[in-house]
Amino acid sequence: VAVAHSEDRPWLAEGEQKREAVQQMFGEIAPTYDLLNSIISFRFHYRWREAAVRALHLKPSARVLDLCCGTGDFIRALRRRIPERQILGIDFAFPMLEIAHRKAHVPLAAGDACRIPLQRDSVDAVTVGWGIRNVPDIDAAHREIFRVLKPGGKFVSLDMARARNPLIRWSSELVSGKLLPLIGGIFRRRKAYTYLPQSTKCFRTREELAESMRQAGFVDVQYRDLCFGNICMHVGGKP
């Protein structure tokens, strides 16, 4: 059953099956990822990352890990604040990393968010954009992020959320449930753009994510809605 889920309905897959399904899916959609992101968000995704980077209050000397870096758009926002050599991007989908490599001259590494290939207390900040929803074990990823952060370091995550207002939630889910697979289908990416709204429905609530961060050790955990509550930004610090 789990295998069938990972192939046909990857948003229902769990554990190792989810890891494989997600890795394969992002490997396949890499060439059209940036274009579709801009189409479905009307290019607002750039602004949301800028807001997340501002929330980190980075010093110019900060070393930052962009985890689940994908094609490197968070790196692009970070480069405006700190030199490229202080940014590291990690992702487990090589085709996404290849595109990131073309866009930014920062160190990039293949690695899993649940087993980050860095020593403890290595970086001043960690950014994750639309990655946490996709990892097979969210609590483990939060613990790993906490481990690699230096004391005093900050973590920010942006991801999809379900709008709190029932009317907005109903209309957003209607539009994204119908329109995204349609747009994805035009680019032969129907499964991935069905995964996006479906995985958002199965995703943890903003409160549950904040609690998972606290359990991992984060303090001053806060979250802020963007895009009428369809996107949520979580921030936390390591004491």
Ligand X SMILES: C[S@@+](CC[C@H](N)C(=O)[O-])C[C@H]1O[C@@H](n2cnc3c(N)ncnc32)[C@H](O)[C@@H]1O
Q: Does 65 bind ligand X (CB under 6 A)?
A: no
Q: Does 130 bind ligand X (CB under 6 A)?
A: yes
**Closest residue to ligand X in the complex (CB):** 70
What is the signed CA dihedral for 72, 52, 22, 135, rounded to 10 degrees? 130
* Alpha carbon 197 to chain centroid, angstroms: 14
String marking each residue 136-175 x if it binds ligand X according to CB under 6 A: ----------------------------------------
Buried b (16+ CB within 10 A) or exposed e, 70-96: bbbbbbbbbbebbeeebbbbbbbbebb
How many residues does the structure list for the chain?
239
Q: Does 21 bind ligand X (CB under 6 A)?
A: no
Q: How far apart are CA 144 and CA 195, in angstroms?
A: 25
Among 10, 131, 153, 237, binds ligand X (CB under 6 A): 131
- The residue (of 179 and 219) whose beta carbon lies closer to ligand X is 179
Contact stretch for ligand X (CB under 6 A) within 9-17, 125-133, 179-187, 215-223: 125-133
Q: Does 184 bind ligand X (CB under 6 A)?
A: no
Give, as one character, the DSSP assignment of residue 83: -
Among 55, 68, 148, 235, binds ligand X (CB under 6 A): 68
- The residue (of 133 and 239) whose beta carbon lies closer to ligand X is 133
Q: How far apart are CA 86 and CA 190, in angstroms?
A: 37
Which structure tokens are listed for 221?
């955990």
- The residue (of 62 and 69) whose beta carbon lies closer to ligand X is 69
Among 65, 96, 118, 213, binds ligand X (CB under 6 A): 96
Order of strands, sheet of 219-226, starting from the edge strand that comes earlier in the sequence: 108-110, 87-91, 64-67, 123-129, 149-160, 231-237, 219-226
Contact stretch for ligand X (CB under 6 A) within 18-26, 146-154, 168-176, 197-205: 18-26
